[in-house]
Structure 1
Amino acid sequence: MATWFITGASAGIGRAVAEQLLKAGHRVAATARDENRLEVLRRQGGELWTTTLDVTDTRAVRDVVGRAFADLGRIDVIFSNAGRGAVGAAEELSDEAIAEQIAVNLTGPIQLIRAALPHLRAQGGGRIIQTTTMGAQISSPGASLYHASKWGIEGFLESLVPEVAPFGIGVTMIEPGSVRTDFGAALSIADPLPAYAATPAGRLHRYIKAGGGNLTADAPGDPARVAAAIITAATTTPAPRRLTLGSDAHAAVQAALTGRQAELDKALAASTDFPS
């Protein structure tokens, strides 16, 4: 039996992971901004610990993580899953939307992990699993701040991996493609500027409006299968650094990496060195 701590457990991938863990007899500490939305997990039964948590409140993050370890003893997996998307051209986004996007997708997960690390070290190890997205490897117009937050958290985790490996702590980044969840319903959407109407950002606004908030109805990703892959990764040794999940994610990330490699010019790079 393992014990998982999950943020953003009330919907989407976080809820699917929590449901599968409880069904298999594991313990789950489930958190959400609105604890009432975790009632569906309570009805399922199993060993469940719940509380309200807004990951943008650093003091609350430290308090909740401390209480979870105190109440449950050992926690094997920290699954940092809470997140939100902000949509709009860089010029369209408000200062408040920018601050919120960075707080939810970047600063919040960083502070969650920092709060958990002393406990994981003290117990001799554990796993940190962070939901990023294929959007941490690719980018699209109209989602610049979303990508900035996701590329940022992966940069943080890349450095974290060798920092915490000596303590027996493994780190895995989850990069799903489009998954059939209600992610689109929670988007923060900027007010469109007429100047961008004929640009890719303007087309994205029209696509979202036409979808009526349900942007993943035809997504290839199955949340149950994504959840199962995440749970399996938690017991895979060594911890996989990245899990790219979904055929769309694989194709997009492969194209992005191939394109970036093609842009490397060894001769040009070497031309800026001091002469030997």
Structure 2
Amino acid sequence: MSRRTWFITGISSGFGREMTQQLLEGGDRVAGTVRKPDAIADLKKKYGDQLWVAELDVTDVSGVHSVVDRAFAELGSLDVVVNNAGYGLMGPAEEFSDAQVEHVLDTNLLGSITVSRSAIPRLRAQGHGRIIQISTFGGLVAFPGGSIYHAGKWGIEGFTEALVGELAPFGIGVTLVEPGGARTNFRYGSSRLGTEIEAYRGTPGGAARKMIEDGTSVPVGDPAKMAAVIIASAGQNPAPKRLVLGSDSYNFVHKALTDRLAELEAQREVAFTTDFVEEA
């Protein structure tokens, strides 16, 4: 099996680091981005030129274009592009500042869009490639206390699903990854809160803040196992449109889609009555 070259954003922790470690150990080459290069100094020391590193904040649009261009130029080609960089913003929508809302959307939504759009012309020119978007079951399911986070993830789900049809004619596969809770630092390390509004205490919207503050809920997902499935998906042809990872993700998504279909079917008669009818 030939070795592949991966471009992964946000490799300092979580799925990004776990995937990078597994790929390097397996002999693949990784071009990884980080905001703080010191965070992966151990990997760079161990794997040397097998790990190409660039400092990048995905909210820097010109920086994204520059880094992606440089990765292709210096490495020759990229086989798989993984949009992984992101973080959680938890709590009722009212608790966040405008700056917080803009930053999380710039990171989780626009950052991923910019990376993909930067890579697509090169992937198209080389006639092959794979784009893997790390999303969450929260891209298909929404809970109180996650409104702003869900906004970005539902947005990236729509963008990425549309890419499937746009890029298929050029031999580029696209996959959305929807993991449930995993034992990374995402929930209690990278997730952020707003300024608490006392009125939300004890309400469904305030439950997300309490979970983060309590820090006692243990996710069921094994990040090493999830990373291995994500990596394996790059070898599937055709590319899977979605990868649901974790029993919690499966259960939440299954219920949400089942309920949504039932609600849709109940509206069929009314929906059809609103079509324009030509007069005889």
Shorter-chain TM-score bucket reads over 0.9
Deviations 1:11-45 (A, max 9, x none): 01111111010001000001111111111322432
| Aligned residue type for 1:151 | W
Q: CA deviation at 1:138?
A: 0.4
The CA distance in 2 between the partners of 1:228 and 1:202, in whole Å, is: 34
What does residue 261 of structure 1 align with? Answer: 261
Aligned to 1:136: 139
Instruction: Read off the aligned partner of 1:27 and give its amino acid letter.
Output: R
Q: Is 2:205 the partner of 1:201?
A: yes
Find the aligned partners of 2:242 and 2:46 in 1 and give their Cα distance: 30
Percentage of matched positions with identical amino acids: 50
SS of residue paired to 1:50: strand
Query: How big is each residue's C-alpha offset from its partner over 1:189-227, in whole Å with a ceiling of 9 and x where there is no partner?
Result: 01111121131122322222111xx75xx2111111101
Structure 2 residue 94 is matched with structure 1 residue 95: no
Report the counterpart of residue 238 of structure 1 in structure 2: 238
Alignment of 1:247-258 (within 5 A): 247-258=247-258
Per-residue CA distance 1:87-117 (angstroms, 9 max, x = gap) = 1211111101100111000000000001001
Q: Which residue of 2 aligns with 1:29?
A: 31
Quote the residue 2:168 is aligned against: 165
Q: Which residue of 2 aligns with 1:227?
A: 227
> How many angstroms apart in 2 are the aligned matches of 1:203 and 1:117?
40
Contact 1:85–1:186 (CA<8 Å) still a contact in 2?
yes
Which runs of 5 or more residues in structure 2 are unaligned? none
Task: State the number of aligned residues.
Answer: 272
SS in 1 for 2:95: coil
Moved over 3 A (4+): none
Which residue pairs with 2:148 in the alignment? 145
More displaced, 265-274 or 177-186? 265-274
Distance 1:131 1:173 in 2: 6
| Residues 1:189 and 2:193 aligned together | yes
**How far is 1:275 from its partner?**
3.5
Deviations 1:226-259 (A, max 9, x none): 0110111001000000000001100000000000
The aligned residue for residue 10 of structure 2 is 8
Task: Say which is worse superposed, 259-268 or 236-245, in terms of deviation.
Answer: 259-268
Deviation at 1:76, TM superposition (A): 0.1
Which 10-residue stretch deviates more, 265-274 or 125-134? 265-274
- Of 79, 85, 97 in structure 1, the residue corresponding to residue 82 of structure 2 is 79
CA distance in 1, matches of 2:147, 2:170: 35
Distance 2:227 2:46 in 1: 17
Counterpart amino acid of residue 239 in structure 2? A
Paired residue for 1:57? Answer: 60
Normalising to structure 2: TM-score of the pair?
0.94
Give the structure 2 partner of residue 270 of structure 1: 272
Asked if the contact 1:196/1:202 (under 8 Å) is kept, the reply is: yes
SS in 2 for 1:174: strand
CA RMSD of aligned residues (A): 1.2
